[in-house]
A and B are shown apart, each in its own frame.
Chain A
Amino acid sequence: MPVVEARAVTKVFRDFWRRPKVRAVDGISFEVRRGEVFGLLGPNGSGKSTTLKMILGLLHPTRGQLAVLGRSPREVRAKARVGYLPEESYLYPYLTPDETLDFYGRLFDLNARERKQRTAQLLEMLGLQHARRRTVGEFSKGMARRIGLAQALINDPDLVVLDEPTSGLDPLGCRQVKDLILTLAKRGKTILVSSHQLADVEDVCDRVAILYSGRIQAMGSVQSLLEDTHQCRVTFPDLPAAQMQPLLAAFRTALGTEPGIEHPRRDLEQFFLDVVEKARRAGGESSGAAATQGVADYLKAPASPESALQNLLPQPAAPAATPPPSAPVDNAAALREADEKLKQLLKPGSGA
C-alpha cells in the first residue's frame, strides 16, 4: 500500500461567489511508496504547496482522490503518524522553543518525560539550545525554520512532509536537513519534500515529480532521469604529465577521439561548509543557530515495535562530538563521507 496515493487530483481555487479563479493543481496522479524520498519540483506557483496542503487535509481537492496512510487526509487519526513543515513557520511568537515543542508534543499525547527528552535532543540537533529561553517571536527566519522542523519531527512520524525545508537555512542547515532526510529514509520513514533547490533534491530524493502549472511534466527516479548512459567519467589522482601521457594515449586509441579532461571542482556548498567549520574551530561565537552535526537520537532508533520502549530507556549522549568532514576534495567524496557517517550513526549502539 503506498503511503500517499493521488489519483487525478485537481484543485481549483474559487472566489467569494464560487467562480473558478485559479486552477492550481490539474489532474495529477502519483504515489509515494514506503521508505522512499519523493521530491516535488517546480517553479514558483506551480502547485507544490497546494498539493502538500491537500495531502495534509488543509485544502480539499476539487476533484480526484487522495489517500494518506490508507486514510482520507481529513481524518484525525491519520495525523498521529505524520509530520509537517509548512512553507513558512507559523509558530506562536510568545512561546520559547522548549514550550513550543512541549506544546506540539502534548498534542501527540506524548508523556512529560518523552516530551522533555525529545525536545532536548531536537534543540541540540538543530543548534538552538542556547536560545531555549528566548521567545520564538524574536528568532531569525532560519532559526524559526529550525523550530518548525523540530515540531514536524517531535512525534517521530512515519510520513514526513516538508515544504521547502531548506528555504531560509544556511548551507550548514541545508546539509544537515539533507542528512536528516537520508537518516530518516534509512529507517524506513517516508519523506515527501517540495523544493526548487534542484541540487538539494538531487542529493536526497529517490524519485521526483516535476510540476509546471499544476501538471506533472516528468516523473521517475533521479537516477533514471539524470543518468546520461552515453557518457562515462573516470576519476583518479592528479598525475605528473609523464605518467598522464601514456594513459591519455591509450584512451585516444581506444575511443578514436580526444577524451575530456579537467580538474574536479569542489562545489560551493562544500566549500562554504569548510570555511564555516574553520571559523568555528577558530572560536567565533554566534547568537544565531549554532553549528551542530548529526541527528537526534530518538530519530535514529531502529524503527521497530520496540522503539517506543527504547525511547523510555536512558539515552546515550547525542553524537555532537562526531568530527566534521575534513575538507573532502569533491562532492562525491563528501557524499561518501556523509554516507560513512550515517552508516556509523546507524550502527546499533552508536553514539555511546
Chain B
Amino acid sequence: MRTVWAIALLSLRNAVRSRVVVLLLAVLVLGVIGIPLTVKSDGTLAGYVQILVRYTLGFSMGVLLLATVWAGCAAVASEIQRRQIHLLVTKPVSPAQLWLGKWLGLVILNTVVLAVCASVTYGLLRWNTRAGQLSTADAQKLAGEIMVARARVAPEPFAVEPRVRQRLADLQTRGELPTNMAPEAIYKTLLGVAQLEAHTVAPGGKITWRCELPALGGSAPEFQVRYKLAAAALAPLRLQGRWSVHRERAGQPFELVTEHPAQGQQSLTVPGTALAGEGALLVEYANLNEAGVTLLFDPEAGLAVLVPVGGWLSNFLRALLISDCLLALVAALGVTAGSLFSLPVAAFVVFQLLIMFSTAGMIHSFATREASFAAALPGMVKAPGWVDVVMSWFYRMLEVLIMPMQNDDPLAMVATGEWIAWPVVAWTFVKQILLASGLLLLLAAAALRRRELALPTD
C-alpha cells in the first residue's frame, strides 16, 4: 500500500509541478464563471439553474474527461517512453501496484478539480439567488420546485404486445400479410400503431396510468405529474380535461379540471394528501372536449410522477460522485491503454472506445433486433444467415460490455430536480470501479508482466 501511495503522490506532484493542474483549474473556473454570462438563458429561474448546473458543470466534466484520457494514457506510456520505468520496475513494485498508483493519482486529482468546479458553481448559484435578489414568488419556486430532489416514477407501460401479436397472427391466418414487407417491419409498424392507440384519448374517453411508488420517508406537501402532449389537434386549441389522482386502495382522490395548450411539456401540481392510502398511484385523465378533439400523449416521453424525497444539495453531491466514478473509469481505461500501447496509439484507442460508449443506444438496437423479432414472430422470420448470427453476437458482446456503463446524465438530473438514489450511486461504484476498472487492472497487469519494458516504443 505504501508503494501505491508513493506512486500516486508522485503523479500528483508531477501534475502540480508541471503546472498542468493550475492551467486546467484556470480554464475550468473561467468556464464556470464565463459560460453563464455568455449563454443566453430563457429568462426563467429554472433555465438559469439548467445552464449553471447542467451545461456549465457539464462543460467542466467534458474538459476533465478529455484531460483524463490524455493523462491516463500518459501515466504509464510516457514513463516507458522516458525510460523512468527502468528504475521503477527494478524495485519491488508489481504491475498491479504500478497501475493502482497511477490510477489513484488521477482519481484524487479529478476529485479535487471536480470539487473545486462544483463549489464554484454552487457558490455562484447561491450568490445569484441570495435573499433580496429574487421576487417572493421566484424564491418560493426556487425552494419548492427547482432546488429539490424528486423521485421520478414512470408508470407501468401499456401492455400492447399481446394484442399486436394477436393481430399479426390474425392477418397471417387470413392470408392478409403484405408480401412486399418483411415481417419485422410489419410487426414494428403495428407496435407503433398500438402504442399510439393506447396513448390516445377520444372525447369522453379516459386514460389511466398506474405507478408503483417507492417507500416515501415522511409526507410531501405536494408533488408533480409531468406529461407531454403530442400535437394531435391544431394549435392554438386549448384542451379541457379532468385529472384524478389517487391511491389504488383507500385513497382520497384529488381532482382538477385543467385547460392547457394541445402540445408541449405540462406539469400538474398535486397536494400531498393524494398520496395517502395504499397501493399503486393511479393517474387518470378524462377528455372533456366536444366531439372531434382527440388527445394524444407523447408515447415516448409519456408521463411521470415526481415525488419530493430529499434535499437538493445532497442530490448534487450524489451526482458529483457518479460523475467522479465516470472519470475514474475513463482514467482506468487510459492507464490500461497506456500499459498496452505507446501514447498516441493508447489515446486513439480510448477515444474510439468513448465514441462507442456514446453510440451505445445504436449498438443496443443492433444487438436486440434479431433476437426480439425471432421471439416475437415464431415461424415467420426465416432463420438468419451466419453473418447475421456472428454480427448479432458481436453486438451482443459489445452490449454486455457497454450497456452497464451507461448512466443517465447525473448533472441533467440534478438540474431538473430529479432524485438520484443512493443505491444508484452504489451500483455505479460497483460496476464502474470494482468491476470494470478491476478488469482493466487485471488486463494491464497481465500485459505489463509480459512486456519487455526496456524496448523502445518509438
Q: Give every chain A residue within 8 A of B94 (Cβ-Cβ).
A: 76
- Closest residue of chain A to B449 (Cβ to Cβ) is A74
Number of interface residues of B (CB under 8 A): 28
List of A residues within 8 angstroms of B13 by Cβ: 94-95, 99
Which residues of chain B from 91 to 125 have any CB-CB distance to chain A below 8 Å in the complex? 91-94
Q: Which residues from A are CB-within-8-Å of B10?
A: 92, 95, 103
B263 CB to closest chain A CB (Å) equals 60
Whether A219 is near chain B, meaning CB under 8 Å from some CB there, is no
**CB-defined contacts of B90 to chain A, threshold 8 Å:** 56-58, 79, 82, 84
Binds B, one of A106-114, A117-125, A186-194, A236-244: A106-114
Indicate if the CB atoms of A58 and B453 lie closer than 8 Å.
Answer: yes
Q: How far is the CA of A59 from the CA of B455 in the complex (A)?
A: 7
- Other-chain residue from B82, B84, B92 in contact with A76 (beta carbon distance below 8 A): B92
> Known: A58-B89, A106-B6, A108-B91. Is A94-B14 also a contact (CB below 8 A)?
yes
Q: Assess whether A53 is interfacial by the CB under 8 Å rule.
A: yes
Alpha-carbon gap, A88 to B86, bound state (A): 10
Q: Which residues of chain B (420-443) have a CB below 8 Å from chain A?
A: none
Please, which residues of chain B bring their CB within 8 A of the CB of A91?
A: 84, 87
Q: Which chain B positions have C-beta within 8 A of A82?
A: 90
What does the 1/0 interface line of A277-307 toward B look like (CB < 8 Å)?
A: 0000000000000000000000000000000
Q: Is A215 an interface residue (CB 8 A)?
A: no
With a cutoff of 8 Å between Cβ atoms, the chain A residues found around residue B455 in the complex are 13, 59
CB distance from B425 to the nearest CB of A (A): 33
The reply to whether the CB of B17 lies closer than 8 angstroms to some CB of chain A is: yes
Query: Given contacts A58-B89, A107-B92, are A86 and B83 in contact (CB under 8 A)?
Result: yes
Determine the interface band of chain A, counting residues with CB < 8 A from chain B. Answer: 20 to 34
Q: Is the CB of A86 within 8 A of B453?
A: no
Instruction: Check if A80 is an interface residue, CB within 8 A of chain B.
Output: yes
> Residues of B at under 8 Å CB distance from A?
2-3, 5-6, 9-10, 13-14, 17-18, 82-94, 449, 452-455
Compute how far the CA of A109 lies from the CA of B94 in the bound complex, rounded to whole angstroms: 13
* A106/B93 in contact, CB under 8 A: no
Given the complex, which residues of A lie within 8 Å of B18, measured CB to CB? 94
| Contacting residues, chain B, for A94 (C-beta < 8 A) | 13-14, 17-18
CB distance from B8 to the nearest CB of A (A): 11
> Which residues of chain A come closer than 8 Å to B84, judged between CB atoms?
90-92
Q: Which residues of A contact B85 (CB under 8 A)?
A: 90
- The listed residue (A59, A79, A88, A99) touching B91 by CB distance below 8 A is A79
Residues B3 and A92 in contact, CB atoms below 8 Å apart: no
Q: Are A79 and B92 in contact (CB under 8 A)?
A: yes
Does chain B have a CB within 8 A of A60?
yes
Select one of A13, A57, A77, A107 contacting B3, CB under 8 A.
A107
Residue A271 interfacial (CB < 8 Å): no
